[in-house]
Every structure is written in structure tokens, then in C-alpha cells.
Amino acid sequence: MNWYRKNPIFATALTVCAVLVVGEGWLIYDRYDASRVAAKKLLQKEAELMAMRDLVPVPTRPVAAAIEADLARAQRSVAVMQAELHGRGPAAERLAAAKVPTARTEAYFDLATFVEKSREMAKKHDVEIRPEAARLGFALYASEGPKEDRIASVFHQRQVVQYIVESLIEARPRSIFSVQRERALNKAEKDALLAAQQAAANGGGAAPEPPAEPAPGTVSSVEAESPDLFVIDPRVTARAPGYIDTTPVRVVFTGQTGALRTFLNKLASFELPILVREVEVDRASAEEAAAVPVSPAEEGTVADADAAPAASVVMAAKPKPVVTVKAAPKVSSTTPIVPKPLSKFTVTVEYLDLVSAPSTPAEAPAAEPAKPTT
């Protein structure tokens, strides 16, 4: 202490030097540690670079630009397909502009109006609607509307069934025997079914389908036994849990093959996203064909056919040549040698509903699909 007092300048200089030495030592150690970490990272990067040389395609700037261009094209294609799946034309506009009923009474009158207009259209096109198909798939609501938690589902089904029935009537079949739909589910049942389907998909098992029998306490036994309801075969459905939901409809009708062809061509125009899943063809029985009323056009054909034997009688009685010439082409043009048989067709279709995905900041608003009616 006395020495420090006697030589303050020298003591201060020594202290400063000691501090500098300690600081330099710490800096040297810190730089050494940093260089060791950097060397380790360099070795890792070199190993990654050596591994990337074996990748195909090679991760270069031009390849990255090409991948980004492919991604942009794929996103545009997805947007176009999503727009197509929303439908186009008056049918799609009608679905988009439709307002979901809010009360059971409103829903009942909506279904009643649909049935009445469909019957008028069928009468105009000389198409018979059989008694078992009189309510066109909605016999459960012949006297009252659906419950509040099922109004939206039933209304959406009505819109899809209306388009299918109108397209079928325009194809001019002979008779419509049946219109079936899937059981309408409320929101809780849909969420439970979606969770079960996703769990089955993650576990690798088969996704469950809506049960044919309703859960206890959910619907009445009348709905459980209704012939208007059916369950689509899970092997042919287009459902994809979390991505695509569907509204299946099955129609049974009789007619010529041309009616089926016209009906399928109408659905293939894709005014609405409807896919044909199954088509079954059987020969119509005598009872199914005989019960069909004769249209005015067919009445003329029958009258001509009844008049054909008279022409042959006249010819047997040595008619005048002019009469014979007129009668011969009439018989050949109105009486076919082999009459066209009636067929019974069972057509199962599905309307595709895009499931809205959760929006993300990077997602464009145009890419977010929206269901017309839910």
C-alpha cells in the first residue's frame, strides 16, 4: 500500500496492463470458441452439400425457379377446378341465390312447391310419376317440415333433387318409379361422422358411412323405414373426409335407351358438379309397362297400327291399284317388325360439395371454396 502511494503512476499503469491482459485473454478464448463452432458448422454444410449433389433434380437456382413456376401453374389449375365444381349457368346461380328457410313451416311449403311444380312439368312432358314416387323423395315431410336442426340439410337435398328430377323429366322417360336420397344429418351428426371418417383414414381402416338406421332418439322410426332413403355403396362414393362431401341421389325410371342417354348427357354438361356413380339396366316387367298411360303421340301410333289389318283385308278383296299403293307404305311405316322394349333404369349420382379449408395468410381469397347452401 505504501509502495502504491509512493509510485501511483507506475502502479496504475501495472493495473491497466493487467486488465488489458485479462481482457485480451478472454477475447482470445471467445474467438477460439467461435472459430471452433464455425468450423463445426462448416463441416455440417459441406456434408449437406455433398448429400445434395446426389439429389434429382439438382437444387440449383434455375431448378428452384422451375419448381416455383410449376407450383403457380398447379395453384391456377386447382382454382379452375374448384370454380368448375361450383357449377355454372342458371342452375348454379339458382343454388347460389337460394335462401335457406328458417322455420319448419317455410321449409314445408318449399318442399310442397317443388313437388307441385315437378308434377306439372311431368304432365307437360307426358311423364308418369308413380304413386310410390309421388313426393319425389320427401314423403317424410308430406304433412310437416323437417326439424329446425335439419332444415339446412333437407333444403340442400331438395335443390339437388330438383335439378336431377327436372333433367330426368326433360329426357322424357315413360315413368318415374322412385327418387331416393340419403338421410339428412344435423350439424352434430355431421361433425361426429367426419371425425370418425378422419380417424378411420388415419388408422388405415375403411371410413364409416352414414348408418341406414338412425341413432336412438335422433329421428323417428318412420324415417328409419322410409323407402325414400338409401345408403350409397362406400366403394363407389367420391367422399374424401375433410375435402369433399357428397349428396347422393338414386332415381328409378322406365323408358327407352334414348331417355337414359339424354339424361346422362344433361348431367355430363356439368351445370352442377354431379357425377354418375352407378347405372343398372333391367328389362321392364309386363306390369310395369302396362300401367303406363298412353300419351297422345302413342295413341296415334296405336290407331295406325289398328288400321293396318284393314288395309290387308282390302288388298285381299282385290282393291283398286291406287288404294293398294297408298295402304302399303302406311303399314310399313307405322307397324315395326320388332317393337322396342321398355327398360328399367336405376341411376345413382352424387352432387359434390367442396369442404371449406381453414384460411391461412398465404391463401388467396379466390381459392377459398364456399358451398352455395348449407
pLDDT at 45: 86
The model's confidence at residue 299, banded by pLDDT at 50, 70 and 90, is very low
270: left (phi over 0), alpha (psi -120 to 50) or beta: left
The mean per-residue pLDDT over the stretch 299-315 comes to: 37
Residue-wise DSSP of 232-291: --TTT---BTTTEEEEEEEEEEEE-HHHHHHHHHHHHT-SS-EEEEEEEEEEPPHHHHHT
- Helix 151-170 to helix 89-97 angle, to the nearest 10 degrees? 160
pLDDT at 105: 93
Asked if pLDDT for residue 216 goes beyond 70, the answer is no
pLDDT at 297: 42
Residues comprising the chain, all counted: 374
Strand partners, 287: none
Asked if pLDDT for residue 363 goes beyond 50, the answer is no
The model's confidence at residue 63, banded by pLDDT at 50, 70 and 90, is confident
Q: pLDDT tens, 244-285?
A: 888 999 999 999 999 999 999 999 888 888 999 999 998 878
Using alpha carbons only, give the angle 174, 179, 183 rounded to the nearest 5 degrees.
Answer: 175
The model's confidence at residue 181, banded by pLDDT at 50, 70 and 90, is very high
Residue-wise DSSP of 24-44: HHHHHHHHHHHHHHHHHHHHH
Q: pLDDT tens, 341-353?
A: 789 999 999 998 8
* Residue whose C-alpha cell is 310437416: 144
pLDDT at 213: 41
The mean per-residue pLDDT over the stretch 214-236 comes to: 68
Mean of all residue pLDDT scores within the chain: 76
Q: In this structure, which amino acid lies at residue 74?
A: A
Domain boundaries, the chain: 87-284+342-367, 296-334
Contacts of 352 (CB under 8 A, 6+ apart): 85, 238, 244, 245, 246, 273, 274, 275
The model's confidence at residue 175, banded by pLDDT at 50, 70 and 90, is very high
Name the residue with higher pLDDT: 212 or 83: 83
Cell of 124: 307437360
pLDDT at 84: 72
Asked if pLDDT for residue 55 goes beyond 80, the answer is no
pLDDT at 32: 84
The model's confidence at residue 241, banded by pLDDT at 50, 70 and 90, is confident
Give the SS3 label for residue 214: coil
Q: pLDDT tens, 129-141?
A: 999 999 999 999 9
The model's confidence at residue 87, banded by pLDDT at 50, 70 and 90, is low
pLDDT at 94: 83
Asked if pLDDT for residue 171 goes beyond 50, the answer is yes
Name the residue with higher pLDDT: 33 or 253: 253
